[in-house]
Amino acid sequence: MTGDTEGINWEAIERSPAFRELVASRRRFVLIAGGGTVGLCAAYVVLAYLAPAGLGTALGWAAGVGLILLTWVVSFMYLRRSDSEWDPMEQQVVAESRDASGRFTRSAEPEQVR
């Protein structure tokens, strides 16, 4: 890496409580909302395989459309949470990792490129 990121103490940033909370919050959302959506989609596919006659009706069609709408809802929720919660957390992490001059805090010894 070259430029302004050379010598940044990434380990210190990763250990900061604000960064850890940001990562944990995103991970929770993805595991719950994303995992739930993928689980429902997988259940729909399995049900379509095991009972194709049942999903060939209007109910099956509505369930399929519902899954598509669910993916849009989860995407919208992610964008809203990103704007309202995670962006301010990111700004806090950046602010904590900069020194008074506005530059990132450097490591005591810059890493050598191998």
The 10s digit of each residue's pLDDT in 47-98 is: 989 988 888 788 888 999 999 999 999 999 999 999 999 999 998 888 888 7
Q: Where are the domains of the chain?
A: 12-96
pTM of the full structure: 0.70
Burial grade of 25 (CB within 10 A; 0-12, 13-18, 19 or more) = middle
Q: pLDDT at residue 46 above 90?
A: yes
Amino acid 44: pLDDT: 93
Question: Percent of the chain having pLDDT more than 90?
Answer: 51
